[in-house]
Every structure is written in C-alpha cells, then in structure tokens.
Amino acid sequence: MYKVSVMYPNQPGSKFDVTYYAQKHMRLVRDLLTPEGLVRTEVAKGVAVGQPAPYHCIGTLYFQDLGGYERGIQKHGKVLRADIPNFTDVTPVRLLSEEIG
C-alpha cells in the first residue's frame, strides 16, 4: 500500500478552511482519483498543545499501487492544484511513502 501525505504548514498569518478542505476538496480528490486506484482518504486537523500545531491539516491518500497515484496526478493534478487557493494560501508539502509494517 502506498500513502501520500499532503501536509499544510501552519505558517504565521496563513489561512486554512478545514471545512472546505474536508467536504469539498477531498470529495474532488475521491471523485477524480478513485478510478485511478485511490483506496481511501483521511483528513487530520492539527491541534495546538501549548504551542501552535506545525500543520493546519494533513490529508492522506492511500493507493494499492504507486502507478495509480502517478496516473491520477498526471491526469488530474492541474485541477486539484487549481482548487488549493479555495481553502489555503500555503504551499503543501507532500510525502510519498510505502507502508512496510
């Protein structure tokens, strides 16, 4: 299983609309990437404990194979990236990983 973690840094003065992200952007992600092999998604909102959370939010996408992610981003990446300004003004950080245990 391959996991794509899309992390949105909590930079001073930055904005992040978690409701839009969870309800609209992730629906768009599922609609476009499920035919390419997306298995499931998760959304985790950062929580402040004594200091601001390092990330506003982390979205996680799970794919059975790496090719599904690559095909999906090649076909639909432009549309997905164009939606980012609707919920944040920060540049996301992506981590592609393979689950091993």
Domains of the chain in start order, with CATH, are 2-98 (3.30.70.100)
Task: Kindly report the number of other CB atoms within 10 A of residue 78's CB atom.
Answer: 9
Strands across the sheet with 93-98, in order?
Answer: 38-45, 55-63, 2-9, 93-98
For residue 101, what pLDDT band results from cuts at 50, 70 and 90? Answer: confident
DSSP string for 8-32: EE--TT--B-HHHIIIIIHHHHHHH
pLDDT tens track for 9-59: 999 999 999 999 999 999 999 999 999 999 999 999 999 999 999 999 999
